[in-house]
Amino acid sequence: MTTEVPRVTTIRENADSSSANLCRFCGAGLQRTFVDLGMSPLCETYPSAAEFNSGETYYPLHVYVCERCWLVQLQEYESAEKIFTDYAYFSSFSDSWLKHCQKYCNAMKARFDLGKQSFVVEVASNDGYLLQYFVRQEIPVLGIEPAANVARVAVEKGVPSPVRFFGAEFARELVGQGRSADLVLGNNVLAQVPDLNDFVEGLKILLKPEGVITLEFPHLLRLIELNEFDTIYHEHFSYFSLINTLNLMEAHGLRVFDVEELKSHGGSLRVYACRVESQTHAPQPNVQKVLADERAAKLDRVEGYEGFAKQCQEAKLALVEFLLGAKRAGKSVAGYGAPGKSATLLHYCGVGKDLIEYTVDRSPYKQGRFLPGNHIPIHHPDRIRQTRPDYVVILPWNLKDEIMGQLQFIREWGGRFVVPIPNLLVD
Ligand SMILES: [Zn+2]
């Protein structure tokens, strides 16, 4: 593959990651701040009223960019074990996401000729939301899922799901049992991996000689362009461009042969990789296209990362000014949704229940609980009709069209929508 981007395909030895602030991939020292969003609690914890007296731990959201390999990253302030072993997020709760997955399974079956003789492995397979579609086509699968409560649901769907964290060691165990894979996939897991090198090495070990890896993750280019700073949270240790992904893959003897740009999660990439020595997977032109877009945005230089902190601050000032103005004018303000990203947004902006009185969410798990840190109460969506707020702040901005459609009734009392990202919108 030809590209003008200087490649970093070596990992520095003797990097002591336990003490210094070093790049999780290449081991270089991290000096350059991408953005410092202050302190925030873990975003997927929703305390109940009974837990108010036990206190909550806040961690820094200080994001660095590695000037050697361009990996954007947070330190691992809280261990992945603690964050992910009793995870509250069940993938199957979103209809549009399930459709996306079903489409993916059909496309992979056709493109790579998968059948009864094939073996598909998903890393961080959650509740079997995706692999169930391969199971229905009688393609043998294995899910690997560290959260026991979630894996149990997958097993009920006929998706074998050992409760494990994935890495080189587990990959060797599987290969030792003769279970090499034709397709290994990871959706929205790469960002959550503390030991990136061990994880990617594991992917390669598990792969048959002509097998394929697909990975989906939010695209750093979109995060910057669309000011999606609230997608930065402690569960996401790393933020990927195609430039830094190529570095990572090549360091482990893998070759990226295709990439697709997806609309999911505010703009994602789906990367296709195979072993370097594979002869069957020809490089597709979209790889060069996305690389060219990233170079145009200067993601191969410091300049591409310099303006982001200012952008975040502008969004904060606009939201806080609006909320203070609404409060002074005696207006009532409610939120809609309690997504993980609302923790980053509201803590960075210093917004509590004095400015947003409550929020609502369709997930029964969250109703009756509170947002972490600021303790904004989470109610059933009916609360909006009952209290008729003047403004509804849409916290999952990526679903704003869907939510505004569902909540058109707030117009009956002159209610208006507020969308805080990318720029404040009051509609
Ligand atoms: Zn690096």
In the three-class reduction of DSSP (H, G, I as helix; E, B as strand; rest coil), residue 158 is classed as: coil
Query: Would the pTM of this model clear 0.85, i.e. be above it?
Result: yes
The model's pLDDT over 355-376, given as tens digits with 9 standing for 90+, comes to: 999 999 988 889 999 999 999 9
Distance 15 CA to ligand 1 centre (A): 11
What is the CB-side half-sphere exposure of residue 80 using CA atoms within 13 A? 19
CB 373 within 8 A of CB 397: no
Strands 254-262 and 333-336: unpaired
Distance 247 CA to ligand 1 centre (A): 9
Distance 125 CA to ligand 1 centre (A): 28
Distance 249 CA to ligand 1 centre (A): 13
Residue 420 tokens read as: 């805080």
Residues 24, 30: Cα–Cα separation, whole Å: 10
Distance 198 CA to ligand 1 centre (A): 15
Rg for the chain, CA atoms, rounded = 22
Distance 30 CA to ligand 1 centre (A): 8
The model's pLDDT over 195-210, given as tens digits with 9 standing for 90+, comes to: 999 999 999 999 999 9
DSSP assignment string, 120-160: EEEES-TTSTTHHHHHHTT--EEEE-S-HHHHHHHHHTT--
The pLDDT score that the predictor gives to residue 8 is 65
The pLDDT score that the predictor gives to residue 7 is 61
The pLDDT score that the predictor gives to residue 4 is 47
Q: Which residue bears the tokens 């009223």? A: 49
**Residues of the chain where predicted confidence (pLDDT) is lower than 70:** 1-19, 80-94
Distance 244 CA to ligand 1 centre (A): 8
Distance 251 CA to ligand 1 centre (A): 12
The pLDDT score that the predictor gives to residue 33 is 97
The pLDDT score that the predictor gives to residue 14 is 44
CA proximity to 166, closest of 133, 213, 201, 134: 201
CB 232 within 8 A of CB 239: yes
CA 147 to chain centroid? 17
Distance 175 CA to ligand 1 centre (A): 30
E-state strands within 246-358: 254-262, 268-275, 333-336
CB neighbours of 36 closer than 8 A, spacing ≥ 6? 60, 61, 62, 63, 309
* Kind and range of the H or E run holding 35: strand 32-41
The pLDDT score that the predictor gives to residue 340 is 87
